[in-house]
Amino acid sequence: MNDYVNLEKCLDYQFKNKDLIVEALTHKSFKKPYNNERLEFLGDAVLNLIVGEYLYKKFPQSNEGDLSKIRASLVNETGFTKLANEIKLGDYIYLSIAEERNKGRTKASILSDAFESIMGAIYLESGLETLKPIILTLLEKSYDKINLDVLFSDYKTALQEITQAEFGSIPDYKIEGSYGPDHKKEFEVSIWINNQCYGQAIGKSKKLAQQAVAKIALDKLKG
C-alpha cells in the first residue's frame, strides 16, 4: 500500500525511497530520531537555483538586482506555502499531537519547510533535471495567483514615497494606448511627476505597465 498516491499524482512523480520521503514529511515536533530540517537545508538551495535559473532565462533583459528581487518575492515562506497548498502537502506532514492541536498543519512555517524538504528529497533521489519540471509546473500553475503585480508591487509604493518627500506630489500614470488582439492586449503607460514625463513602458496589463514605468522613474530619480 502506498499512502502517498495523491501526493505523487499532484507532483506527477513517484517516490523511490519511502524512508527519505517520510523524513521529509516529519516535523521536528514529532520527536523521531530524524526530522525534515536537513532536507530543508538542501531543498532551500535547490529551489533557489531552479527558480533563479528560470528567472535568468525568462527575463533575459533583467539585471542581477532585479532578478534577485523577483526571486526573493517567490522564494520565501509565503511563496512556498502557496506551492505546498497546491499539492495539499499539509495532509501528509507528521506532527506532534500538541502541534496538531495548535493548527500546525496549516501554519505557513511548517508547510513551507516541508515543501523545501520534499523538494530536497526528490533532488537527492532523482537529481536536478527530474526536479526542475516539477517545480516549474507548480510555479507556472501558481503564477497567475502570485503574478507579476505582486512581484513588482514595491516599485509604485517606493516611488510614491520618494516623490511625496521630494516634490510634495504623487506620480501621475497616463494610459497612452493599447495594442494587440483582446486576448493578448498590451498597454502603454507614461509616468508624470510634477508635470514632467519620466518614461513610458508597455505591459500585459495596466498594472504591470504602471509597475514597469514606476521602476524606470525610480531608477532616474535615484540617479
Binding flag, residue 64, a second copy (CB under 8 A):
yes
Binding flag, residue 126, a second copy (CB under 8 A):
no
- 182 in active site: no
Q: Locate 202 and state its grid cell.
A: 508597455
With contacts defined by CB under 8 A, name the span among 12-20, 60-68, 150-158, 205-213 that binds a second copy: 60-68
* Residue 40 labelled as part of a binding site: yes
By CB under 8 A, the count of residues binding a second copy is: 20
Out of 44, 125, 154, 161, which one is annotated catalytic? Answer: 44
- 44 in active site: yes
Binding flag, residue 196, a second copy (CB under 8 A):
no
**x/- contact string, 26-55, with a second copy (CB under 8 A)?**
-----------xx-xxx--xx-xx--xx--
Residue 65 or 181: which CB sits closer to a second copy? 65
Q: Locate 87 and state its grid cell.
A: 499539492
* Residue 140 labelled as part of a binding site: no
Least Å distance, CB 61 to a second copy, is 10
Strand partners, 202: 188
Binding flag, residue 162, a second copy (CB under 8 A):
no
Least Å distance, CB 195 to a second copy, is 34
Binding flag, residue 128, a second copy (CB under 8 A):
yes
Binding flag, residue 63, a second copy (CB under 8 A):
yes
User: Which residues, 6+ apart, have CB-to-CB distance to 51 below 8 Å?
Assistant: 71, 74, 75, 135, 139
* Residue 113 labelled as part of a binding site: yes
Per DSSP, the residues of the chain read: --TTHHHHHHHT---S-HHHHHHHHB-GGG--S--THHHHHHHHHHHHHHHHHHHHHH-TT--HHHHHHHHHHHSSHHHHHHHHHHTTGGGG-B--HHHHHTTGGG-HHHHHHHHHHHHHHHHHHH-HHHHHHHHHHHHHHHHHHHHHHHHTHHHHHHHHHHHHHHHSS--EEEEEEEES-GGG-EEEEEEEETTEEEEEEEESSHHHHHHHHHHHHHHHHH-
Binding flag, residue 219, a second copy (CB under 8 A):
no
Q: Locate 15 and state its grid cell.
A: 517516490
Q: What are the residues binding a second copy (CB under 8 A)? A: 37-38, 40-42, 45-46, 48-49, 52-53, 56, 62-64, 67-68, 127-129
Binding residue ranges for Mg(2+): 40, 113, 116
Residues with catalytic function:
44, 116
